[in-house]
Structure 1
Amino acid sequence: MQQVTYSLPDADNLRQAYHAAYGKACEAFRRWNPLDMAASSGSSWDDGSSSFLVHYISENYNVHFPSGEIISERGGDPVPITVKIVILHYLTRAGGQPLAHRWISFKEIPSAGMIYLEPFNKRVVNYLTGVFGRQPQLLTQAGLSLGGIAVDCGDYGIRFNLLPRLPVTYALWAGDEEFPPRATVLFDATAPFYLPTEDLIVAAGYGVSQLAKTVKNGKSSNPSAAT
């Protein structure tokens, strides 16, 4: 019997796919009215510079209209293309719905399905546990440093906005001799009105990476956590 092997896309193919996705996002972006996008997304719009100011997790980004060019206010390295795609998708998809203040898991998102659940668990939930499982208190410290608030969810929980109208809750339960640590990630029920399902995975995973980066760089603090 012939053996069938499967391989992941190589770097060149992945790069081409990202650039194609960014190109499509720019095409959609330039078809929208900027004032409508600003109002629906909770982002600010400046007529003088023809640009939006969008806060994504830990940075402010200037998004130029109609080109779709995105520059970090902080400067430095070029903005990763995955960040550009998420921001443009957010601006064009945002529906302006008021937050429901009802928290749901990823699998409760109507369009999630099993096809997205495995990558979400791998790229977000397992990543969160891998980074903070042994020192879960660092999750709260890192989240506070990113402007979040401590919440009563799990043994350690933190909530902050991935994007202006896209809050997320990251929570951990500390493990013991009998059970390993476990994590959950919750979204406001309106999340599907602000990002496509694939982008919710990317954004939530990027949030974990920024929490991890905060700890690695020694920027996390230990203020009193308010629930």
Structure 2
Amino acid sequence: MATENPKRWMLCHTLANRFEADLLSDALEKEGIPVLLRSFEETAYDGLFVPQRGWGQILVPAQEITRARAVIAPLLETFQSRGPYQSLEKLDPLLWERLKKEDPKEVCRRAQVQWMEDRNAYRIPFLNGAYACRPQDETLSVLEELPSSKLDFQTGLVVLHYLLEARPEPLEGRWISEKEIPGGLQFFAGPHAFPLPWVLRSLDHDLDRFCEAAEIMGGTPVDAGDAAYRFWVLPRIPIQAVFWAGDDEFQASLGLRFDPSISRQLESLDTIWALANLFCRQLRAAALDGE
């Protein structure tokens, strides 16, 4: 078995679970690419880093990194497309029915969105772009450009629940982690951990790239970590992204912070998790646009 040499091995992919580890390792080995598998469930780690960093890591020789990423890329796309709740069509029809019955003026007042009479649609600001939602047609579209134009189940889930649940309540003016949201300590772990390792890979764990991506998304610099930005993800929901640069002992890390009022704007932890996933997707897309 090859010994781990930091000068030889490079991080190729952060793993979500053992199944992904086995499948990707097998694919790389079939292409003749040596693989070093590092699991955070090993006794030495005692599972400590699983919620923050994922299940583990695949490392490959530095000279093979480009070829290795090309090998696993289509497999990762397959993982993402297999989930049972991927398309807008999978949204609960009752959400659309409820929204159709709402008074647009009242929705706009509560959620701080705009009703576009000419389109019979809501304009929902999202970061520095916007979505358009037409309840009668049960359609959602990108109205103003975002780093990622992908529309899926989670996009619809967040937008519809926000339109139905947002309330005209003030911010508390302080920042908490997802673990401090009521019920979040148990919920935001394992399969519901935020996909921050996925974002960090796209940023190459680099502080400058984080700052560039954050500015593409319309973030405002704030004083936290080694760099941090505040974003108005939705009109009543700010998110703060905090970046800590790495050192010889630990890799760079990224965290999200929320105003405590988020649990009064989105009633379900599932919806808050979906919102965090959408934010991470946009940050990753902004990072890749900067390449």
The TM-score with structure 2 as length reference comes to: 0.64
Instruction: Tell me which residue corresponds to 1:146.
Output: 217
Tell me the CA shift for residue 141 of structure 1.
Answer: 1.5
* Aligned-partner Cα distance in 1 for 2:107–2:101: 11
2:209 counterpart letter in structure 1: L
1:165 to 218, 228, 236: 236
The residue type equivalent to 1:213 in the other structure is: A
Aligned in 2, Cα 1:132/1:120: closer, same or farther, shift over 3 Å? farther
Q: Percent identity?
A: 22
- The equivalent of 2:155 in structure 1 is 83
Structure 2: gaps spanning 5 or more residues = 1-18, 21-78
Task: Choose which of 163, 175, 179 in structure 1 pairs with 2:246.
Answer: 175
- For residues 105 and 13 of structure 1, do their structure 2 counterparts lie closer, same or farther at Cα, with a shift above 3 Å needed? closer
**CA displacement 1:187-218 (0-9 Å, x = unmatched):** 11111122221122222222122122122122
SS in 1 for 2:249: coil
1:51-76 Cα offsets, whole Å, 9 max, x none, are: 21112235322212344322222589
Choose 187-196 or 63-72, whichever is displaced more.
Answer: 63-72
Paired amino acid for 1:119: P
Partner in structure 1 of residue 258 of structure 2: 187
CA distance in 2, matches of 1:44, 1:25: 19
Opposite residue 138 of structure 1, the aligned amino acid is R
- Equivalent position to 2:197, from 101, 109, 126: 126
Structure 2 distance, partners of 1:77, 1:109, is: 29
Alpha-carbon distance in 2 for matches of 1:10, 1:142: 25
Structure number with the bigger relative contact order (C-alpha 8 A, sep ≥ 6) is: 1
Q: Is the deviation greater in 135-144 or in 44-53?
A: 44-53
* 1:217 has 2:284 as partner: no
Q: SS where residue 104 of structure 1 aligns?
A: coil
Give yes or no for contact 2:212–2:290 (8 Å, CA) kept in 1: no
Distance (whole Å) between structure 1 residues aligned to residue 86 and residue 216 of structure 2: 32
Cα deviation, 1:98-146, whole Å, max 9, x if unaligned, reads 122111110111132413333343x333334333362122112111111
Name the CA distance, whole Å, in 1 between partners of 2:275 and 2:102.
23
Map residues 52-91 of structure 1 onto 2, 5 A cutoff: 52-74=122-144, 79-91=151-163
Shift of 1:12: 7.4
Alignment length (residue pairs): 212
SS at match of 2:151: coil
